[in-house]
């Protein structure tokens, strides 16, 4: 009997020969034949082969196809010179009508049936373990001498004919300071599942308990480890189960076919993009991935909107990369709630200013194009005004369809929770992300102030309570967009507001958002969010991460997204609409083509052109 230690350096053809002779005392092939590629195996009737190949092509992350045999061909010369798929896996599973009816050491007794069957060889994550080690990352399952943990998820694969199932993933604990290194080490190894599909809380994938894997062994996490999940070829096993084929075979999870291909011979991705990792949530813990190129474009947007045309001192309020992190979080959201409305012109009717609504509609338009649910919450007294403006925005082509308009009043202690969650249940939030843009924010004394220290509390509904309640709901993030420090969400920078902004000691908003986007004019922040979401949607690396490497890239929708972006023409028409409805400039109360005392032409129009 061979010892496992000697197997790491054994050449694949020799290892296959040993496996063929049933001389091994190991339960999986992780760490075996180091530096060589391993493969998942699915064997099914030739009548199903074409559809299964389409299923693999449609779900390349979990099912990267290395080779498809002809019916009755159990050799695979391109992967192994002397291979015989009937004997060269450590262990097999037999499936009859979707049920696993046995484990086998050899398939030779089924030679007659195999003459009408096709073998699929699919990439395996064991192949990238050496790449992780070369990057200085310990592979915990190898350290702990156990199989990798594999889990069924709640993520549906792209279905083809009778092949439909949810994604299966492997989990490897990765130290928090090595996350980006792990992504870089695996991203280009597309035939070995490529980059991770999730990093952080397993519940976001529908995995309830890491200590109870569906396949493989539990792997112990160290204190500073983050669970990182890669798409897994055992997804093919789940597809076979759901297909209910009369007869099928697979490798036993973890007992792979070992090829003669070296890992450095693997076909790598051709994108040339370098991935970056960003933490977008602490509760639940969640990281996202974006290309360095896309991230830099978004950082440029943040710099553009960060100028201070009013010379108010907002440069001191900036937190770097808030736009990027906010938009990464929004891109993961399914449902977004937007609020706007700052009744600074309290002596006029309506008292609203025209900074805020255009930015809110720009965000909403992009969210609609991205097929996310979106709603707007504003003051009860302003609902009719907002309804009229929205109707005209649809006629102008700014919005594709109406957006639900909501109002919020505090009627009980749990009103905010009942508004945000179904039946007040924190486990069932209606919205994943809340965005406030140029929305009056509550100061430390409970009042609401405009920039001139005038208390306008009588005109403002307590929508701040929704942002405070969101802090208590796991998975619900918040963003505040402002240009003076007295807007909802600016509590994150309140110390700087009090120090550097005129009247800041009184007017500073006390309510924090998770992400604070500071702009010279708040509308610019809305335009930048719309542009950043477009950039993320057209980023291949981020798109793959969002869809968990199943299905097809979404770039066919690029023209829809492009048409949803703000433009000088759209914003000019919307500002004229606001003027017609008596919505004035915040700084001057003027009913001219200006926002915050700055002319639309040659100021706001130029900013829009720069952002695009």
Query: Would you give the DSSP letter of residue 253?
Result: T
104/191 same-domain check: no
For 81, phi then psi, to 5°, come to: -60, -40
Q: How far apart are CA 599 and CA 596, in angstroms?
A: 8
Residues 513 and 570 occupy one common structural domain: yes
Does 364 lie in the same domain as 250?
no
Residue 26 above 80 pLDDT? no
Q: Please check the confidence at residue 1 and state whether its pLDDT lies above 70.
A: no
Q: What pLDDT score was predicted for residue 8?
A: 66
3-state secondary structure 130-148: HHHHHCCCCCHHHHCCCCC
| 295/306 same-domain check | yes
Reported as a pLDDT band with limits 50, 70 and 90, residue 9 is low
Residue that has been written with the tokens 């915040």 in this structure: 586
Neighbours of 3 (CB within 10 A): 9
| pLDDT of residue 4 exceeding 60 | no
Q: Which domain holds residue 155?
A: 125-236
Q: Report CA-CA distances (Å) from 593 to 56, 311, 543, 586, 601.
A: 56, 21, 39, 12, 8
Instruction: Flag whether pLDDT at 324 surpasses 90.
Output: yes
Q: Is position 460 within any domain?
A: yes
Residues 6+ apart with CB under 8 A from 401: 368, 394
- Looking at residue 17, what is its pLDDT? 84
Strand partners, 455: 449
Instruction: Establish if 487 belongs to a structural domain.
Output: yes
The CATH number of the domain holding residue 475 is 3.90.1640.20
Can you tell me which residue has the tokens 């703000």?
Answer: 566
Convert the pLDDT of each residue in 360-393 to its tens digit: 999 999 999 999 999 999 999 999 999 999 999 9
Residue 173 lies in a domain: yes
Q: 555 and 411 in one domain?
A: yes
Q: Are 47 and 25 in contact (CB under 8 A)?
A: no
Burial of residue 136 (CB within 10 Å: 0-12, 13-18, 19+) is exposed
Looking at residue 334, its pLDDT comes to 97
Determine the 3-state secondary structure of 434 from DSSP: strand
Mean pLDDT score of the chain, rounded to an integer?
93
With 80 as the cut, is the pLDDT of residue 6 above it? no
Task: Extract the tokens encoding 292.
Answer: 């360095």
CATH code, 146: 3.30.2040.10
The residue behind tokens 């991205």 is: 370
pLDDT level of residue 266 (50, 70, 90 thresholds) = very low
Q: Which of 365, 371, 331, 363 is nearest to 537 (CA)?
A: 331
Model pLDDT, residue 167? 98
DSSP 3-state of 454: coil
Structure tokens at 577: 């609409």
Peptide bond into 350 cis (omega under 30): yes
281 domain-assigned: no
pLDDT at 557: 85
The pLDDT of residue 438 is 97
Alpha-carbon distance of 591 to 518, in angstroms, equals 25
Provide the 10 A C-beta neighbour count for residue 308.
17
Query: Are residue 134 and residue 20 in the same domain, yes or no?
Result: no
CA distance linking residue 113 with residue 91, whole number of Å: 18
Non-local CB neighbours of 357 within 8 Å, separated by 6+ positions: 340, 341, 386, 389, 574, 578, 583
Tell me whether residue 269 is in a domain.
Answer: no
Q: What are phi and psi of 101, to 5 degrees?
A: -110, 10
- Give buried/exposed letters for 525-534 (b at 16+ CB in 10 A, else e): bbbbbbbbbb
How much is the average pLDDT of 325-339? 98
- Same domain? For 458 and 325 the reply is yes
pLDDT of 160 reads 97
- Give the residue, 328 or 312, on which the prediction is more confident: 328
Q: How confident is the model at residue 23 (pLDDT cuts 50, 70, 90)?
A: low
User: pLDDT-based confidence at 7, cuts 50/70/90?
Assistant: low
Q: Is the pLDDT of residue 566 over 80?
A: yes
Contact present, 490 and 526 (Cβ < 8 Å): no
In this prediction, residue 5 has a pLDDT band, given cuts at 50, 70 and 90, of low
pLDDT more than 70, % of the chain: 96
Claim to verify: residue 194 and residue 303 sit in the same structural domain: no
Is residue 29, in this structure, part of any structural domain at all? yes
Statement to judge: residues 502 and 557 lie in one domain: yes
> What pLDDT digit, counting tens, does each position of 493-547 carry?
999 999 999 999 999 999 999 999 999 999 999 999 999 999 999 999 999 999 9
Residue 437 domain flag:
yes
Q: At which residue do the structure tokens 């196809």 appear?
A: 65
Domain total in the chain: 3
Residue 14 pLDDT more than 90?
no
**What local confidence, expressed as pLDDT, does residue 511 receive?**
98
**440, 461 contact by CB (below 8 A):** no
Specify whether 117 is located in the same domain as 149. no
Task: Indicate left, alpha or beta for 294 from its phi (over 0: left) and psi (-120 to 50: alpha).
Answer: alpha
Where residue 247 sits, what CATH number does that domain have?
Answer: 3.40.1640.10
Length of the chain: 612
108 & 137 share domain: no
Give backbone dihedrals phi and psi of 89, rounded to 5 degrees, phi first: -100, 145
Cα gap 564→292, rounded to integer Å: 24
Residues 109 and 137 in one domain: no
Is 284 domain-assigned? no
């Amino acid at each position: 009997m061979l010892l496992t230690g000697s197997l790491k350096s054994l050449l694949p053809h020799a290892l296959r020969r040993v496996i063929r002779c049933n001389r091994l005392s190991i339960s999986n092939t992780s760490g075996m034949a180091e530096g060589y590629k391993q493969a998942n195996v699915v064997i099914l009737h030739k009548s199903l082969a074409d559809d299964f190949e389409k299923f693999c092509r449609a779900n390349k992350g979990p099912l990267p196809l290395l080779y498809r045999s002809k019916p009755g061909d159990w050799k695979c010369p391109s992967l192994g010179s002397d291979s015989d798929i009937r004997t060269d896996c450590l262990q097999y599973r037999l499936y009859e009508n979707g049920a696993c009816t046995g484990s086998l050491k050899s398939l030779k007794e089924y030679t007659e049936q195999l003459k009408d069957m096709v073998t699929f060889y699919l990439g395996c994550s064991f192949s990238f373990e050496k790449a992780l080690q070369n990057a200085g990352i310990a592979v915990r399952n190898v350290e702990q001498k156990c199989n990798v943990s594999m889990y069924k998820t709640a993520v549906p694969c792209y279905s083809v004919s009778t092949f439909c199932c949810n994604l299966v993933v492997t989990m490897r604990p990765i130290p928090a300071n090595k996350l980006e290194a792990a992504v870089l080490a695996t991203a280009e190894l597309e035939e070995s599942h490529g980059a991770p599909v999730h990093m952080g809380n397993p519940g976001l994938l529908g995995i309830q308990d890491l200590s109870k894997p569906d396949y493989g062994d539990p792997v112990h996490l160290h204190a500073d480890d983050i669970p990182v999940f890669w798409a897994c070829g055992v997804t093919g096993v789940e597809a076979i189960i759901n297909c209910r084929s009369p007869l099928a075979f697979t490798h036993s999870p973890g007992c792979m076919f070992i090829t003669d291909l070296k890992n450095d011979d693997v076909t790598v991705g051709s994108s040339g993009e370098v991935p970056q990792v960003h933490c977008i949530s602490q509760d639940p813990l969640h990281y996202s991935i974006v290309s360095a190129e896309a991230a830099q474009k978004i950082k440029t947007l943040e710099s553009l909107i960060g100028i201070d045309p009013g010379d108010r001192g907002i440069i001191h309020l900036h937190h770097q990369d808030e736009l990027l992190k906010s938009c990464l979080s929004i891109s993961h959201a399914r449902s977004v709630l937007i609020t706007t409305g700052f009744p600074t012109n309290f002596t006029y009717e309506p008292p609203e200013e025209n900074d805020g609504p255009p930015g809110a509609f720009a965000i909403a338009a992009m969210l609609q194009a991205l097929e996310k649910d979106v709603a707007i919450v504003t003051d009860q007294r302003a609902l009719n005004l907002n309804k009229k403006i929205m109707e005209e925005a649809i006629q102008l082509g700014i919005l594709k369809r109406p957006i639900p308009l909501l109002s919020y009043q505090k009627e009980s202690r749990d009103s905010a929770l009942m508004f945000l969650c179904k039946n007040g249940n924190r486990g069932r939030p209606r919205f994943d992300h809340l965005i406030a843009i140029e929305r009056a924010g509550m100061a430390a004394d409970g009042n609401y102030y405009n920039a001139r220290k005038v208390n306008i509390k009588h005109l403002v509904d307590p929508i701040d309570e929704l942002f405070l309640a969101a802090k208590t709901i796991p998975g619900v993030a918040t963003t505040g967009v402002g240009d003076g420090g007295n807007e909802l969400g600016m509590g994150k920078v309140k110390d700087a507001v009090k120090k550097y902004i005129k009247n800041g000691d009184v007017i500073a908003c006390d309510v924090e958002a998770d992400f604070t986007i500071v702009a010279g004019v708040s509308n610019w922040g809305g335009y930048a969010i719309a542009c950043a979401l477009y950039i993320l949607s057209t980023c291949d690396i981020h798109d793959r991460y969002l869809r968990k490497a199943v299905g097809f890239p979404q770039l066919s929708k690029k023209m829809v997204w492009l048409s949803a972006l703000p433009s000088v023409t759209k914003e000019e028409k919307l500002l004229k609409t606001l003027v017609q409805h008596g919505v004035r400039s915040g700084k001057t109360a003027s009913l001219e083509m200006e926002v915050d005392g700055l002319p639309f032409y040659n100021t706001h129009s130029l900013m829009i052109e720069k952002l695009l």
